[in-house]
Amino acid sequence: MPNTISGFSKLSKSDKIEWLLDTYFNDKTNARALVKGYWNTDDKLQKLHDEFIENTITNYYLPLGVAPNFLINGSHYTIPMAIEESSVVAAASKAAKFWLERGGFKAEVLSTEKIGQVHFMFLGDFKKLQIFFNYVKPKLISETATITKSMERRGGGILDIELRDKSEDVPNYYQLHATFETMDAMGANFINTCLEQFATTLKYEASTYEAFDAKEKDITVIMSILSNYVPQCLVRAEVSCKIKELKSKDIPHPEEFAQKFKQAVSIAEIEPYRAVTHNKGIMNGIDAVVLATGNDFRAVEAGVHAYAAKEGTYSSLTHCTVENGVFRFWIEIPLALGTVGGLTSIHPLVKFALEMLQKPSARDLMQIVAVAGLAQNFGAVKSLTTTGIQEGHMKMHLMNILNQFEATEAEKTKLIEHFKTNVVTHSLVVEAIETLRK
């Protein structure tokens, strides 16, 4: 096959680029200029970025925006958001301003437990395995002492280890199900290192355990890995006010708005087709802040969507009540985040973002991120139940369309003015550009 290569990772960055250009590009000069055009001019900074991952050829930029005017538990925040989607930052900012005048957001961390598991096969009687586990559990903990020492000094460590019987689902399958507190670190490396030591201890102790027969001594560890499902690492954020206080320029009838908003959320609670899009809007806000602060948005996404389906059907992450003249809107969501370790201490813009957030603890960041998701959802549902989502979204998308067609600054000025009073669609923008150019 002509497009395969051996030893690619051992090539220099320049040689990697040249191979790609030779193999896939007709216009190598422009392609090379594009790749190099996204390099940092500071060689030291570029080297830092090159070493984040493997086979780096250049940098892929996302805009870093900010959403000001967030009032959370009485403190003011400007929230950093790294995202490419039009209208997300604008919607968050608008929601923040709306609730700033109505008491702001309240948030609290409900729990911070994280999970890791050793998955293993055991050919024997579960009762004997349970007795063995009770015997070996203190050794599992003591033999990780050198690993947990530093974390324990900060108030974290191993909280508990359970033996779980999963043999009805998969024959001979069992788990060591461990819970951890990792404080301000996301803790993936810490948890996985502990789990691998658990596995080593488990196998050795089983091989020398006198009450086991030969088959029982031969425990097979399948894998040792943390879980990104963290239903006990929970944060809650909410807003509330008297219904009459919802009145604003775009909410002339607050009672009607409150009821319609609640009904929209209720639909997302029972209709999975709507819930997925509803929750995607929440994740627009959450992912943008998670990414800006150097955390793992893929892990957060996986855990959040699993939590949304915890009752057996996929449902809304936000909830709303309209009772006794009061409008309440809230989110309860699992978020495993860190403010130390990983990119948080080496990526310059992550450090910048965390300083902007007043150097939060992991618990503080959980609250900020949950609020960002709630604000995003409020903005989206508010638009859907009033003006419709497309009016604001397409206005924000206008600039992307103009850039796609390489509009000049003079053309942009005229077309932006034109679409202040006209509907924005892709076809209408293209038509307006063509008309202007004629």
Annotated active-site positions, please?
Answer: 85, 280, 296, 393
**Calpha distance 351→359 (Å, rounded):** 9
- What b-and-e string marks burial along 66-77, b requiring 16 or more CB atoms within 10 Å of the CB? ebebbbbeeeeb
Closest to 158 measured CA to CA, from 186, 185, 181: 181
In this structure, what DSSP letter does residue 11 have? S
**Calpha distance 278→318 (Å, rounded):** 9
Alpha carbon 419 to chain centroid, angstroms: 34
Taken in order 7, 11, 15, 18, the sign of the CA dihedral is: positive
Closest to 437 measured CA to CA, from 406, 416, 401, 404: 406
In this structure, what DSSP letter does residue 147 have? H
User: How are strands ordered across the β-sheet holding 326-334?
Assistant: 106-109, 234-242, 326-334, 318-323
**Calpha distance 27→31 (Å, rounded):** 6
Taken in order 147, 153, 155, 160, the sign of the CA dihedral is: positive
**Calpha distance 322→242 (Å, rounded):** 9
**Calpha distance 146→267 (Å, rounded):** 51
312 neighbors 333 (Cβ within 8 angstroms): no
Closest to 236 measured CA to CA, from 352, 317, 340: 317
Q: In this structure, what token pair is assigned to residue 239?
A: 């807003």
Residue 235 parent element (H or E): strand 234-242
Name the phi and psi angles at 274, rounded to 5.
Answer: -80, -40
**Calpha distance 240→370 (Å, rounded):** 15
